[in-house]
Amino acid sequence: MKTVYSEAHRGHSGHGELVAGAIVPGFEKPERAEIIRARIDEVDLGPVVPPAAQTLATAHKLHDAAYLAFLPQVWALWRAEGRHGPAMPFAWPVPGLRRDVEPERIDARLGFHSFDGGASFVAGTWTAIRAAHDVALTAADLVADGAPAAFALGRPPGHHAGARFMGGYCYINNAALAAERLRERGAARVAVLDIDYHHGNGTQDIFYARDDVVFVSIHGDPKTEFPFFLGHADETGTGAGAGFTRNLPLPAGTGWEAWADALDAACDEVARHRPDALVVSLGVDTFAGDPISRFRLDSAHFPRIGRRLARLGLPTVFVMEGGYAVEAIGVNAVGVLAGFEE
C-alpha cells in the first residue's frame, strides 16, 4: 500500500487549543504523523510518496467560497493586529445571532467560521492545510488509477471541517475531498466510514443531502462526547440524501466486543448501498490509552479492524484523522493498514 505524505505538516506546530477552561498546547501535533511515518518504514508497509500539487477546485465543491478564501488570510490578519501567539476565536454566532453578514475584524471572523476553539493558526498552518489537502487528493487518485488501497497521511486532520466551518483541529475536510475526487474519477457512489472516536460532524454536514456519498460513523455518544451537537442515531440524511447517513453512537467505556459489533453493522450498511469505493476516516483515538477519548480498544484490536474493512472488497482510501496517545499511534494506525493488507 502506498502512503502519501508531506513534511509540510510540520508547519502546523506550536499552536494551542481551548479545552476545559484553559488554553493548552494542541493535542494534535507533528509527532503524530512522524511516528506513523516511522512505523510504516519499520514494518515495510509499502512505499511513501509525496503528494502531487493540486488546485482547490475539488475543495470548492465541498466548502463555501468565502470560508476557503478566509483560511489563507488568517495569520496575516492576526499579525496585522499586533498579535504574536496562535490565532484563536473567542466569540461565535450562535442561533439567534446573524450569520448573513461576515464581520471584518479577525477575532470575529475566526468565530464566524468555526464552532470551537480547537482550530488555531500559527505561521505555517495554511501551508500544512494545503499539504494535507494535496495528500488526500493524491491518495484518491492512486485508488482511482487502480491501486486497491492508499493511505493519506496528512495533518491537520479534516473530518470536523464542514462546508463553512472549522473546528476540532480540522480546517479542510480531507476525507470528503477523497470521496469527491473518487466521484470525479468515475465512482457512481462512494461510502465514507468514519471510525474515529469523535463524530465526523463536518463530513456529515457536507454530504447530508446527497445520495452519491454514503456517510457511516461509529463514535462516542454526542450527549456526552465532543463534538456534542451532531451524530445522534436519528440523523439519517435529508432530501435526496435521506437514508444515506447512518450514525452508531456508543457510550463512553465501550470495549472491543460492542465496538466490533458496531463495526459489523457499519460495514453491513456500507455494503447495502453498493458503493464503488470506500473512504475510511481513520481515527485511532478509540485506543484505551487515548488522553481525550473514552473507548477501550487495545493495540491488538486494530489489525482486526483492518481485516474487517478488507472483507468489503472495495477500493479504499484511508485518511488519517485522530489519535492522541502519541507513543502508540504508529502501532495502532499502521496496525489497521497491515490488517487490511493481509
Measured CA distances, 103 to 87, 111, 162, 236, 252 (Å): 16, 10, 20, 33, 38
Return phi, psi of residue 266, to 5°.
-65, -45
Cell output for 278 = 470506500
Other beta carbons less than 10 A from residue 265's beta carbon: 14
Cell output for 320 = 488519517
Indicate which residue of 133, 159, 160, 219 is catalytic. Answer: 160
Amino acid at 80: A
Any residues with CB less than 8 A from the CB of 16 and at least 6 apart, and which? 23, 24, 25, 26, 85, 86, 88, 120
DSSP per-residue codes, 256-320: HHHHHHHHHHHHHHHHHT--SEEEEEE--TTBTT-TT----B-GGGHHHHHHHHHTT---EEEEE
Domain 2-59+123-341: top CATH class: alpha beta
3-class state of residue 193 by DSSP: strand
Tens place of pLDDT for every residue, the chain, 342 residues? 999 999 999 999 999 998 888 899 999 999 999 999 999 999 999 999 999 999 999 999 999 999 999 999 999 999 999 998 999 999 999 999 999 999 999 999 999 999 999 999 999 999 999 999 999 999 999 999 999 999 999 999 999 999 999 999 999 999 999 999 999 999 999 999 999 999 999 999 999 999 999 999 999 999 999 999 999 999 999 999 999 999 999 999 999 999 999 999 999 999 999 999 999 999 999 999 999 999 999 999 999 999 999 999 999 999 999 999 999 999 999 999 999 999
156 in Cβ contact with 171 (< 8 Å):
yes
- Spatial distance between the Cα atoms of 176 and 213, rounded to a whole number of angstroms: 9
- Spatial distance between the Cα atoms of 263 and 259, rounded to a whole number of angstroms: 6
148: left (phi over 0), alpha (psi -120 to 50) or beta: alpha
* Residue 63 is among the residues annotated as catalytic for this protein: no
pLDDT for 18: 87
Domain ranges of the chain: 2-59+123-341
When computed from its CA atoms, the radius of gyration of the chain, rounded to whole angstroms, is 18
